[in-house]
Amino acid sequence: MAARLTTTLPRPRLHGMFAAALLMVASAPALAIKPFTADYQASYMGVVGAGRMTLAADGANRWKYTLSVTAPLADLRQTTVFEDKGGQWRPLSGIDSSKVLAKSKTKNAVYDWNSGVASWSGDVKPERAGPVKLQSGDLDALLINLAVVRDLAAGKPMNYRMVEDGRVKQLNYTVAGKEEITVGGKPMQATKVSATNGEKQTIAWIVDGMPVPARILQRDKGQDAIDLRVQSVK
């Protein structure tokens, strides 16, 4: 995958971003989770802006993963706190906020693994508040960005049960071939993977050794919605 303005502009989700789609089971030892900061060139509805992904420690075996996208018409931000439990990543809480022109929205998610349910509050419809029953291996949309990188490198199936916005969706990523992309002015070989959910499609380009996708493109009804292209990772 983004991956969150009063206007009639559509509000695409940062599928695990972009917000969408790709996380988990057991992590490969070679891909031990480590902090990083990745800066992106972002395009939101055709308007160029900037994006950033960060991963930082948030306590013992806990991590805070954030994606922000800033463009002239939009300010989107997603944050997920998750735990690394024996090699399995489990979302604990999330905040999804957006401002497009004069309209702001904020949604809060809680993944209560002791009770086995997830729930949402804030700017959510009653039918999207939950609770939704959790299963082992469930991810939120944002975490899938990290999972697809890990699982592709480990040769594992990139099939994810995404629990997001009061719903459960099955996202199955497939390899669409190899492509050369430019990262920081340098050509690099990337593996292209994609997943489709209804009228939405998420495409990610993954470079060996990079902890996040080098590019994430989210399309809605055949049109490009959000496009993130990495400029640097440190």
CATH annotation of 16-233 = 2.50.20
Quick: pLDDT tens for 180-202: 999 888 999 999 999 998 888 99
Q: Identify the H or E element spanning 66.
A: strand 62-71
CA dist., res. 35 & res. 191, Å (int): 23
Q: Are strands 200-206 and 186-197 parallel, antiparallel or unpaired?
A: antiparallel
Quick: pLDDT tens for 65-104: 999 998 888 899 999 999 998 889 999 999 999 998 889 9
Q: How far apart are the first and last CA of the chain?
A: 19
Query: For residue 31, what pLDDT is reported?
Result: 56
Q: What is the pTM of this model?
A: 0.83
What are the C-alpha distances in Å from 83 to residues 25, 26, 59?
13, 13, 9
CA dist., res. 141 & res. 171, Å (int): 10
Tell whether the model's pLDDT for residue 33 goes beyond 60: yes
* DSSP code of residue 12: -
Quick: pLDDT tens for 5-27: 223 334 444 444 444 333 332 23
Query: For residue 154, what pLDDT is reported?
Result: 94
